[in-house]
């Protein structure tokens, strides 16, 4: 998720653009840049402040600006937006993912276009250049160019030949027009606009807007003019950054249907039951020879790895072991070249995980990353990998990243399984169910109020046990971690079969147990464990499959999830637990986004 901001008016655009970018830094901050048709462009790696070092020569009464969360291409100055065409007259800033950018790039290169970045975004500028050659107007060239694009964009185009005109476009990524007096604005969200004007047009998918200091016109992709009335921007800037939600954590949980879509985007060949993972192409043949996988991660990433173990062993026939980074690096792991190490990390900077990667590389084994932050240290030091495309995760408690990690592990399972004899039918079954996961998560999110009511009932308990089996044993661990790290309540995750080997001794009427018991191969076993607890008067909070009437006999409270295949049940079962933890912590009036003693990225041992 990147931030775009543009201005055209009568004032010096540069300070306005820089100020606007600062309010968008929550959307990503690995590089930034500004282009003014009157004087050129400045870009820098890192946060907006770094732009100030060489901004002196820049001025003009219009411009486009961008703050980047890298999706394609490392976070370097050459990959920073704005991007230009061959002539240097057409410039663009973009938020989103151009799915068919490689095909477009090939076609443009055959017409002698030369590219100066590794990004998907740059093709947009060259496409407009191509259509301008056909003597089209700037805005008509943009519309024609966008008709060739597949994917998502919130974009603004500038053209040196018409310096006061900007062309904005929206498809799947938000774009807001700010309407001022002899000045107009475009942004990814209202936060940089509202200090100038509260009059706005929230663009819709498939719309293109042409703005000058005194005019704004909206078109569809057939270049038909559309009448759109302005409305008032509501709320304050902080609320807008959180998407209107009270906390980033809740916003990020609510983003999870889209996060799964973005992680899957362009990677599922459903008809052939295959996963297309561009980040693994360079090592695909080496992966055929891999006979053992070691997954390494910390905290939530480690729990995602545990779920991945069940996926890979169950559907790809690969032996897997999972280790926390802080332990792996001090073991004397026995590795050989038929082993591959998979490092899972949202930040890509976790020291314990990074050192595990380095140990594996010292022993010459193949290293892969499942990483959210593009161009991060672990992403750069692993041989290949899968980017999550989950967007920045601001809340310290990981939620959408966990869902994305599970999705990426399911894709990896499909990729490796189909290399190892997984049938077409099985591959299609998994692929088709993956496409249904976003809507299934969305249906759970609609039950937030019911989950909040359950949270309210138990918010004062001092201890919780979370239990699950097979795929949902890692979910029990993750659910317990979510609760303890934001509510500071003692919570333990356990394999349900372990209850009678000790934990059962703690159970009494004041000690609730969260039992993750969706339909599946171990459902009956879970019922037995639940009955063991009920016999000791332990309250049961169940996560069950919708329609499960049996559970009503045993559970004091139930949070329902839709039916799915067992391998993907963790992607659904964890969602109620994230909301449960969130609401207990907010009811206890704690700082959900910044829990005490914790940091978002643990870059020290």
Tokens linked to 350: 């976790």
Count Cβ atoms within 10 A of the Cβ of residue 463 and give its class: 0-12 exposed, 13-18 middle, 19 or more buried.
middle
Q: Name the residue nearer to ligand AGP (CB basis): 386 or 507.
A: 386
The contact mask relative to ligand AGP for 51-90 (x = CB under 6 A, - = no) is: ----------------------------------------
**How does DSSP assign 109-164, residue by residue?**
HTTT-----S-STHHHHHHHHHHHTTT--HHHHHHHHHTT--B-EEEEEEETTSTT
* Backbone phi and psi for residue 549, each to the nearest 5 degrees, phi listed first: -85, -25
**Is 450 assigned a catalytic role?**
no
Of residues 276, 452, 484, 600, which has the active-site annotation?
600
Where in 458-497 is the site for ligand AGP (CB under 6 A)? 485
Helices 473-487 + 299-315 axis angle, to 10: 170
Q: Name the residue nearer to ligand AGP (CB basis): 156 or 401.
A: 401
Q: How far is the CB of 602 from ligand AGP (least distance, A)?
A: 5
Count Cβ atoms within 10 A of the Cβ of residue 504 and give its class: 0-12 exposed, 13-18 middle, 19 or more buried.
middle
Terminal Cα distance for the chain, rounded: 29
Indicate if the alpha-carbon torsion angle 109, 110, 111, 112 is positive or negative.
positive
Q: How far is the CB of 263 from ligand AGP (least distance, A)?
A: 15
Q: Name the residue nearer to ligand AGP (CB basis): 560 or 582.
A: 582
| Binding residue for ligand AGP, selected from 397, 437, 480, 515, defined by CB under 6 A | 397
Quickly list H helices, 151-275. 237-241, 248-254, 256-264
Instruction: Name every residue whose Cβ is closer than 8 Å to that of residue 557 and which is 6 or more positions away in sequence.
Output: 454, 457, 539, 540, 541, 542
Instruction: Name every residue whose Cβ is closer than 8 Å to that of residue 265 and which is 6 or more positions away in sequence.
Output: 97, 99, 151, 389
Instruction: Name every residue whose Cβ is closer than 8 Å to that of residue 548 and which is 6 or more positions away in sequence.
Output: 519, 558, 560
Q: Name the residue nearer to ligand AGP (CB basis): 142 or 396.
A: 396
Q: How far is the CB of 250 from ligand AGP (least distance, A)?
A: 14
Piece of the chain touching ligand AGP by CB under 6 A; list 147-155, 282-290, 342-350, 505-513: 342-350
Q: How far is the CB of 570 from ligand AGP (least distance, A)?
A: 15
Q: Name the residue nearer to ligand AGP (CB basis): 42 or 397.
A: 397
Quickly list H helices, 342-491. 351-362, 377-381, 400-419, 424-445, 448-458, 473-487
| Binding residue for ligand AGP, selected from 8, 353, 407, 470, defined by CB under 6 A | 353
Q: How far is the CB of 400 from ligand AGP (least distance, A)?
A: 11
| Binding residue for ligand AGP, selected from 8, 31, 339, 345, defined by CB under 6 A | 345
Piece of the chain touching ligand AGP by CB under 6 A; list 57-65, 212-220, 391-399, 532-540: 391-399
Tokens 């820049």, residue located: 58
Q: Name the residue nearer to ligand AGP (CB basis): 80 or 401.
A: 401
Tokens linked to 475: 């979910």
Q: Name the residue nearer to ligand AGP (CB basis): 199 or 355.
A: 355
Q: Give the angle 105-110-113 at the CA atoms, nearest 5°.
A: 65
Q: Name the residue nearer to ligand AGP (CB basis): 152 or 345.
A: 345
CA distance 231 to 311: 48
Tokens linked to 588: 């206890």
Asked whether position 237 contacts ligand AGP by CB under 6 A, the answer is no
Q: Name the residue nearer to ligand AGP (CB basis): 55 or 602.
A: 602
Asked whether position 347 contacts ligand AGP by CB under 6 A, the answer is yes
Residue with the CB atom nearest ligand AGP in the bound state: 299
What torsion, rounded to 10 degrees, do the Cα atoms 345, 347, 353, 354 define?
Answer: 130
Asked whether position 396 contacts ligand AGP by CB under 6 A, the answer is yes
The contact mask relative to ligand AGP for 284-303 (x = CB under 6 A, - = no) is: --------------xxxx--
Q: How far is the CB of 504 from ligand AGP (least distance, A)?
A: 27
**Is 36 assigned a catalytic role?**
no
Q: How far is the CB of 28 from ligand AGP (least distance, A)?
A: 16
| Binding residue for ligand AGP, selected from 346, 382, 487, 558, defined by CB under 6 A | 346
Q: How far is the CB of 31 from ligand AGP (least distance, A)?
A: 20
CA distance 240 to 426: 43
Piece of the chain touching ligand AGP by CB under 6 A; list 61-69, 152-160, 392-400, 551-559: 392-400
CA distance 207 to 199: 18
Q: Using CB under 6 A, count the residues that bind ligand AGP.
A: 15
Where in 14-43 is the site for ligand AGP (CB under 6 A)? none
CA distance 231 to 199: 6
Of residues 2, 36, 241, 440, which has the active-site annotation?
2
CA distance 208 to 226: 9
Asked whether position 308 contacts ligand AGP by CB under 6 A, the answer is no
CA distance 351 to 255: 28
Cα–Cα distances (Å) from 593 to 1, 40, 66, in that order, read: 19, 39, 25
Name the 3-class secondary structure at 103. Answer: helix
Q: Name the residue nearer to ligand AGP (CB basis): 148 or 355.
A: 355
Q: How far is the CB of 351 from ligand AGP (least distance, A)?
A: 9
Q: How far is the CB of 569 from ligand AGP (least distance, A)?
A: 20
* Catalytic residue numbers, as ranges: 2, 600
| Interface residue list for ligand AGP (CB under 6 A) | 298-301, 345-347, 350, 353, 396-398, 485, 601-602
């Amino acid at each position: 998720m990147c931030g775009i901001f543009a201005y055209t008016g009568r004032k010096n655009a540069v300070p306005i653009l820089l100020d606007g970018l600062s309010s968008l830094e929550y959307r990503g901050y690995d590089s930034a840049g500004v282009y003014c048709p009157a004087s050129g462009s400045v870009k820098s790696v890192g946060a907006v402040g770094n732009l100030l070092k060489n901004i002196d020569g820049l001025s003009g009464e219009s411009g486009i600006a961008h703050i980047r969360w890298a999706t394609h291409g490392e976070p370097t100055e050459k990959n920073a937006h704005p991007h230009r065409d061959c002539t240097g007259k057409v410039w663009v800033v973009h938020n989103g993912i151009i799915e068919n950018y490689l095909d477009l790039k090939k076609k443009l290169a055959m017409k002698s276009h030369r590219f100066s970045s590794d990004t998907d975004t740059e093709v947009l500028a060259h496409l407009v250049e191509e259509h301008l050659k056909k003597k089209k107007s700037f805005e008509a060239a943009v519309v024609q160019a966008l008709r060739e694009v597949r994917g998502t964009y919130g974009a603004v185009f500038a053209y040196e030949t018409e310096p006061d005109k900007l062309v904005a476009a929206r498809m799947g990524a938000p774009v807001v027009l700010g309407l001022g007096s002899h000045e107009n604005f475009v942004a990814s969200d209202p936060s940089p606009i509202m200090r100038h004007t509260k009059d706005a047009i929230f663009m819709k998918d498939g719309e293109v807007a042409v703005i000058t200091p005194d005019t704004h016109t909206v078109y569809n992709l057939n270049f038909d003019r559309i009448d759109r009335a302005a409305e008032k921007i509501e709320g304050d800037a902080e609320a807008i950054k959180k998407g209107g939600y009270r906390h980033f954590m809740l916003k990020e949980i609510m983003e999870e249907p889209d996060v799964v879509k973005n992680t899957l985007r362009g990677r599922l060949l459903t008809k052939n039951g295959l996963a297309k993972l561009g980040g693994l192409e360079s090592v695909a043949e080496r992966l055929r020879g891999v006979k053992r996988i070691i997954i390494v991660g910390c905290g939530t990433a480690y729990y995602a790895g545990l779920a991945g173990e069940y996926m890979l062993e169950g559907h790809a026939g690969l032996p897997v072991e999972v280790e926390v980074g802080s332990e792996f690096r001090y073991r004397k792991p026995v590795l050989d070249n038929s082993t591959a190490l998979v490092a899972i990390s949202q930040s890509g900077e976790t020291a314990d995980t990074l050192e595990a990667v380095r140990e594996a590389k010292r022993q010459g084994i193949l290293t892969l990353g499942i990483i959210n932050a593009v161009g991060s240290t672990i992403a750069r030091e692993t041989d290949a990998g899968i980017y999550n495309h989950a967007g920045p995760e601001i809340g310290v408690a990981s939620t959408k990243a966990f869902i994305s990690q599970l999705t990426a592990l399911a894709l990896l399972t499909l990729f490796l399984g189909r290399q190892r004899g997984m049938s077409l039918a099985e591959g299609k079954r998994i692929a088709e169910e993956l496409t249904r996961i976003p809507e299934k998560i969305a249906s759970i999110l609609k039950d937030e109020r019911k989950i909040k009511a359950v949270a309210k009932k138990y918010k004062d308990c001092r201890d919780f046990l979370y239990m699950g089996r097979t795929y949902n044993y890692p979910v029990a661990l993750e659910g317990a971690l979510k609760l303890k790290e934001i509510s500071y309540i003692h919570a333990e995750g356990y394999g349900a079969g372990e209850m009678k080997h000790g934990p059962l001794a703690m159970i009494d009427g004041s000690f609730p147990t969260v039992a993750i018991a969706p339909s599946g191969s171990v459902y009956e076993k879970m019922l037995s464990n639940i009955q063991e607890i009920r016999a000791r008067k332990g309250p049961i909070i169940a996560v069950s499959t919708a329609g499960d009437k049996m559970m009503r006999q045993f559970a004091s409270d139930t949070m329902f999830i839709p039916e799915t295949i067992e391998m993907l049940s963790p992607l659904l079962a964890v969602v109620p637990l994230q909301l449960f933890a969130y609401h207990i912590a907010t009811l206890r009036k704690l700082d959900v986004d910044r829990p005490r003693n914790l940091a978002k990225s643990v870059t020290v041992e």
